[in-house]
């Protein structure tokens, strides 16, 4: 399997000595990420170095589809780590967004990968983006 | 119940009072007979009820007992959450002993695929989850505290056991809901437990899929 050239979005961690990002600012940041990327995974670690078994599984699944996808490392951004749980009303990481819509976490990705639904959702998102 | 049976291996965890349960298996009839006792009056009554109800049953019957009867019968309303926890643990211990005493026929417990489910000691979070999940009136529920296998990974510092769980649950409440909605329902039911644990794997089926 060839390693796809891909990017990981590193969100800057705002130093607590200066401006603390407000929850609504975090929400806007998340919103922009979710809407600006056809396939976006909030995870622990990044694509090359996942730092959690569930995040790793999520990455592996997405890699099988041979698409470009973005990831956000919540471990390096505390505001997003909490913010995305509020934004999605979902208590755990990883979290997958496709075409701006929340798909689910690792368990759901596995189920949807196995039944073919995830492939369909991603194909549709790719087509819409063209 | 003779004092000689009041040993640690017969002790029910998570009870406010001290409760012991012992099971004897009669190979000839294929049934179990239970003995139980407690130093508290209320819990003595609860364990007596279970001993009375479950003695004479086969291990399969005992394992198949649906804890949902606690809500349906109205018992749950008469007990505090702590007592409900204890009661659930009594039932679980009796199920475990049914499996042990008859030397386990077939894949244990409540239909889950996991192997290690029979000897759950039940920490406070574990017990709380079990109690809350009764709301879904599950026909099958297996909860595994899987924390030991995640003990050393990044981002999980600060938790000592009771951090990673695996849940297999079958309930009519899931009928007609897609996977996402089923998981959301479980999260809603568990409420603030999710703030206190690190991860929860969920397999949620409706009765037609079980």
Per-residue confidence at B79, pLDDT binned at 50, 70, 90?
confident
Nearest-CB residue to A51 (from B154, B184, B195): B154
Q: Which residues contact B98 (CB under 8 A, 6 or more apart)?
A: B23, B25, B32, B57, B59, B62, B63
pLDDT given at position A88: 95
pLDDT given at position B119: 38
Inter-chain CB proximity A54 and B150 less than 8 Å: no
Closest residue in A to B184 (Cα–Cα): A90
pLDDT given at position A111: 94
Name the residue with higher pLDDT: B14 or B176: B176
Closest residue in A to B200 (Cα–Cα): A92
The verdict on residue A64 lying in a domain is yes
- If you average pLDDT over each of A23-27, B1-5, B99-103, which comes out highest? A23-27
Is pLDDT at B155 greater than 70 in this prediction?
no
Inter-chain CB proximity A107 and B199 less than 8 Å: no
Number of A/B CB contacts below 8 angstroms equals 41
pLDDT given at position A17: 44
Q: Which range has the worst mean pLDDT, B7-21, B33-47, B148-162, B170-184?
A: B148-162
The strand pairing partners of A70, in sequence order, are A40
Is pLDDT at B117 greater than 50 in this prediction?
no
Per-residue confidence at B202, pLDDT binned at 50, 70, 90?
very high
Length of chain A equals 130
Inter-chain CB proximity B201 and A106 less than 8 Å: yes
Give contacts of A75 with chain B, Cβ < 8 Å.
154-155
CA–CA separation, A60 vs A66, rounded Å?
Answer: 11
Per-residue confidence at B63, pLDDT binned at 50, 70, 90?
confident
**B200 in reach of chain A (CB within 8 A):** yes
Interface test with A, best of B152, B165, B167, B180 (most A CBs within 10 A): B180
Residues in chain A, pLDDT under 70: 1-19, 129-130
**B148 in reach of chain A (CB within 8 A):** no
Binding-site positions of A for [2Fe-2S] cluster = 52
Inter-chain CB proximity A112 and B150 less than 8 Å: no
Inter-chain CB proximity A92 and B194 less than 8 Å: yes
Tally of domains within chain A: 1
The verdict on residue A87 lying in a domain is yes
DSSP letter assigned to residue A8:
E
Nearest-CB residue to A107 (from B154, B195, B201): B201
Closest residue in B to A44 (Cα–Cα): B155
**Closest listed residue to residue B14, CA positions, set B87, B111, B102:** B87
**Which residues does A contribute to its contact with B (CB < 8 Å)?**
44-45, 51-54, 75, 89-92, 102-108, 111-112
pLDDT given at position B151: 67
Q: Which residues contact A37 (CB under 8 A, 6 or more apart)?
A: A9, A69, A70, A97
Average pLDDT, chain B: 81
Q: Using an 8 Å Cβ cutoff, are B64 and B99 in contact?
A: no
The verdict on residue A102 lying in a domain is yes
ipTM over 0.85: no
CA–CA separation, B141 vs B122, rounded Å?
Answer: 14
Q: Residue B161: phi, psi to the nearest 5?
A: 65, 175
Per-residue confidence at B153, pLDDT binned at 50, 70, 90?
low
Name the residue with higher pLDDT: B26 or A129: B26
pLDDT given at position A100: 94
**B202 in reach of chain A (CB within 8 A):** yes
**B189 in reach of chain A (CB within 8 A):** no
Active site residues of B: 15
Give residue A75's domain range.
Answer: 23-129
Q: What is the CATH number of the domain that holds A38?
A: 3.40.30.10
Inter-chain CB proximity A107 and B187 less than 8 Å: no
pLDDT given at position B194: 92
pLDDT given at position A9: 65
Name the residue with higher pLDDT: B139 or B113: B139
Residue where the block lists tokens 């794997």 = B201
**B154 in reach of chain A (CB within 8 A):** yes
Where do the domains of chain B lie, and which CATH numbers do they carry?
3-104 (3.90.1010.10), 121-209 (3.30.300.90)
Give contacts of B154 with chain A, Cβ < 8 Å.
44-45, 51-52, 75
């Amino acid at each position: 399997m060839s390693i796809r050239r891909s990017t990981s979005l590193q969100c800057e961690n705002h130093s607590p000595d200066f401006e603390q990002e407000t929850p609504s600012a975090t929400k806007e940041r998340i919103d922009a990420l979710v809407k600006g990327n056809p396939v976006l995974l909030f995870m622990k670690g990044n694509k090359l170095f996942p730092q959690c078994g569930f995040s790793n599984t999520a990455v592996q699944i997405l890699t099988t589809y041979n698409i470009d996808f973005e990831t956000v490392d919540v471990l390096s951004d505390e505001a997003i780590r909490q913010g995305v749980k509020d934004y999605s009303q979902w208590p755990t990481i990883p979290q997958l967004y496709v075409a701006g819509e929340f798909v689910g976490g690792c368990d759901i990705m596995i189920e949807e990968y196995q039944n073919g639904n995830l492939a369909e959702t991603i194909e549709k998102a790719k087509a819409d983006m063209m | 119940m003779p004092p000689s049976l009041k040993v640690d291996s017969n002790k029910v965890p998570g009870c406010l009072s001290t409760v012991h349960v012992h099971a004897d298996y009669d190979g000839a009839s294929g049934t179990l007979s239970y003995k139980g006792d407690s130093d508290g009056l209320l819990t003595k009554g609860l364990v007596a009820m279970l001993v009375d109800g479950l003695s004479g049953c086969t291990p399969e019957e005992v394992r198949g007992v649906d804890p949902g009867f606690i809500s349906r019968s109205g018992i749950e309303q008469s007990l505090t959450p702590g007592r409900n926890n204890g009661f659930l643990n009594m039932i679980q211990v009796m199920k475990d002993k049914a499996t042990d005493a008859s030397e386990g026929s077939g894949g244990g417990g409540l239909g889950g695929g996991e192997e290690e489910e029979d000897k759950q000691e039940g920490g406070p979070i574990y017990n709380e989850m079990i109690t809350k999940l009764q709301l879904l009136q599950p026909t099958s529920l297996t909860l595994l505290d899987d924390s030991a296998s995640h003990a050393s990974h990044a981002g999980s510092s600060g938790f000592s056991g009771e951090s990673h769980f695996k849940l297999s649950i079958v309930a009519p409440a899931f009928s007609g809901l897609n996977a996402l909605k089923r998981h959301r329902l479980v999260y809603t039911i568990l409420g603030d437990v999710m703030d206190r644990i690190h991860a929860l794997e969920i397999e949620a089926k409706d009765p037609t899929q079980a």
